[in-house]
């Protein structure tokens, strides 16, 4: 198959987990014998067209997107879609399917699929409704929610990264469940090899007799970092020598640092900002515990990466995290979502029970093997194939 994929981010431009997902899926599809073209944004010294591990990447040059003005960001997205549509149109025909990832490239994807008269597939990685816990009545949330609804309803098929998200898309957007497939993210353990001198790296953040608690991700409200900070003073009192490490950046960074100052935590930990994957994978290896306290989480890639790296993990009992850390499997612990007290108790239990941590790590090392990119690609091409076959049947019926 010839596959045309659209994504607003693709390595080395990485804003979050979406870029990694699109890269790994695209590279696996190429390994499986398919031809994949990705239209994405570029800038700086990046080539306008390049071959990255067999994936043909076409970059439209865009200015840096506005981070603090949502109206300006929406206008920026609309301009990016116009450029992506033009770039995609230049590639000509011969594609079997157009695959858009999230609302930011919905307009270009829909137009390109219609021009080529091929199936249009979208992957919904998250929703504005979920990020804002249903509060989407006011602008600009209402605008983004509307784009997502039209995208989900207008696509030939929708893929979500979890069954939780499948239900949300069906309920919130009114999409028939038969038109939605839940295909989880994958993970490649070979990507998680640390490159740093681990003893030296750990010594930068914690003494040998201290426990190191790691939090990773975008510093935004829905990731629940404020809950973890609220739990840390009590955890430090009960366990003793505990330090925290927060790796990530985002719009809530200043607010979280102010919260840490107010709680007297800055002498007990560090905000290291955004880190590259090589450093991040090393951080998983040196931590005694990884906390994933999300309020809204479509999947939970951080939890999966932590478990694959041998880091004991505690997650909120919510969303897609329930599928990454399923009940009945001792691969990680789940605390009551949004409960600071529950999080504090569970972290205390795990930090003071070496045997439990070892059991969780051993079980998790087997569990993560289920999240295989080869299987993700197989299921995805299965959806492609069904859509293509259905389109051909409709065309034959129309000519008879």
CA 107 to CA 4: how far, in whole Å?
14
For 202, what's the count of Cα atoms within 13 Å in the CB-facing half-sphere? 15
CA 150 to CA 186: how far, in whole Å?
28
Do 153 and 217 belong to one domain?
A: no
Do 304 and 278 belong to one domain?
A: yes
Domain residue limits at 232: 190-370
DSSP 163: H
Do 142 and 283 belong to one domain?
A: no
CA 133 to CA 170: how far, in whole Å?
16
The model carries a pTM of 0.93
Do 197 and 111 belong to one domain?
A: no
Q: What are phi and psi of 256, to 5 degrees?
A: -70, -40
CA 328 to CA 322: how far, in whole Å?
11
Do 123 and 267 belong to one domain?
A: no
Q: What are phi and psi of 20, to 5 degrees?
A: -65, -40
Q: Tell me the CA distances in angstroms from 276 to 234, 244, 299, 378, one per residue in order.
A: 31, 19, 21, 29
Do 330 and 384 belong to one domain?
A: no
CATH of the domain at 220: 3.40.50.2000
Do 166 and 270 belong to one domain?
A: no
Do 378 and 354 belong to one domain?
A: no
Query: Per DSSP, what are the bridge partners of residue 271?
Result: 246
pLDDT at 44: 84
DSSP string, 244-308: EEEE---TTHHHHHHHHHHTT-GGGEEEEE---HHHHHHHHHH-SEEEE--SS-SS-HHHHHHHH
Do 348 and 377 belong to one domain?
A: no
In contact, 141 and 117? CB cutoff 8 Å: no
Domain count, the chain: 2
Do 160 and 277 belong to one domain?
A: no
For residue 309, how far is the Cα from the chain centroid? 17
pLDDT tens for each residue of the chain, 400 residues long? 999 999 999 999 988 789 999 999 999 999 999 999 999 999 888 999 999 999 999 999 988 888 878 889 999 999 999 999 999 999 988 999 999 999 999 999 999 999 999 999 999 999 999 999 899 998 889 999 999 999 999 999 999 999 999 999 999 999 999 999 999 999 988 888 877 799 999 999 999 999 999 999 999 999 999 999 999 999 999 999 999 999 999 889 999 999 999 999 999 999 999 888 888 999 999 999 999 999 999 999 999 999 999 999 999 999 999 999 998 778 999 999 999 999 999 999 999 999 999 999 999 999 999 999 999 999 999 999 999 999 888 777 877 6
pLDDT at 399: 76
Do 166 and 235 belong to one domain?
A: no
Return all residues near 240 (Cβ < 8 A) that are at least 6 apart. Answer: none
Q: What interhelical angle do 141-154 and 106-116 show, nearest 10?
A: 20
Do 156 and 276 belong to one domain?
A: no
């Amino acid at each position: 198959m010839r596959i045309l994929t659209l994504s607003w981010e693709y390595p080395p431009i990485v804003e979050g987990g979406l870029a990694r997902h699109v890269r790994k899926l695209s590279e696996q599809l190429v390994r499986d014998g398919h031809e994949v073209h990705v239209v994405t944004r570029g800038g700086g010294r990046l080539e306008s067209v390049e071959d990255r591990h067999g994936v043909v990447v076409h970059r439209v040059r865009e200015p840096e997107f506005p981070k603090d003005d949502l109206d300006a960001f929406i206008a920026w997205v609309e301009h990016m879609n116009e450029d992506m549509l033009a770039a995609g149109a230049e590639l000509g025909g011969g594609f079997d399917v157009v695959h858009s990832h999230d609302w930011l490239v919905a307009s270009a994807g829909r137009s390109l699929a219609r021009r080529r008269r091929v199936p249009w597939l979208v992957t919904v990685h998250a929703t504005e409704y979920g990020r804002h816990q249903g509060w989407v009545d006011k602008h600009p949330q209402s605008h983004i929610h509307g784009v997502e609804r039209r995208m989900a309803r207008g696509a030939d098929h929708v893929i979500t990264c979890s069954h939780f998200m499948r239900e949300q898309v069906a309920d919130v957007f009114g999409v028939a469940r038969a038109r939605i497939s839940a295909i989880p993210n994958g993970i490649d353990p070979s990507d998680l090899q640390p490159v740093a001198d681990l003893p030296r790296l750990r010594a930068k953040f914690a003494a040998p007799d201290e426990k190191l608690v790691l939090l990773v991700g975008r510093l935004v409200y829905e990731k629940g970092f404020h809950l973890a900070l609220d739990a840390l003073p009590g955890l430090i009192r009960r366990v003793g020598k505990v330090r925290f490490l927060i790796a990530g950046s985002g719009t809530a960074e200043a607010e979280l640092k102010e919260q840490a100052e107010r709680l007297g935590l800055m002498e007990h930990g560090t905000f290291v900002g955004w880190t590259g994957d090589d450093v991040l994978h090393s951080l998983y290896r040196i931590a005694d515990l990884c906390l994933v306290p999300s309020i809204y989480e479509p999947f939970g890639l951080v939890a999966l990466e932590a478990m694959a790296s041998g880091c004991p993990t505690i997650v909120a009992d919510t969303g897609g995290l329930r599928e990454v850390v399923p009940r009945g499997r001792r691969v990680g612990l789940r605390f009551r979502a949004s409960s600071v007290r529950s999080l504090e108790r569970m972290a205390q239990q795990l930090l003071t029970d070496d045997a439990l941590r070892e059991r969780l790590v051993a079980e998790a090392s087997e569990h993560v093997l289920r999240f295989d990119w080869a299987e993700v690609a197989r299921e995805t091409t299965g959806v492609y194939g069904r859509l293509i076959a259905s389109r051909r049947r409709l065309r034959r019926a129309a000519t008879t």
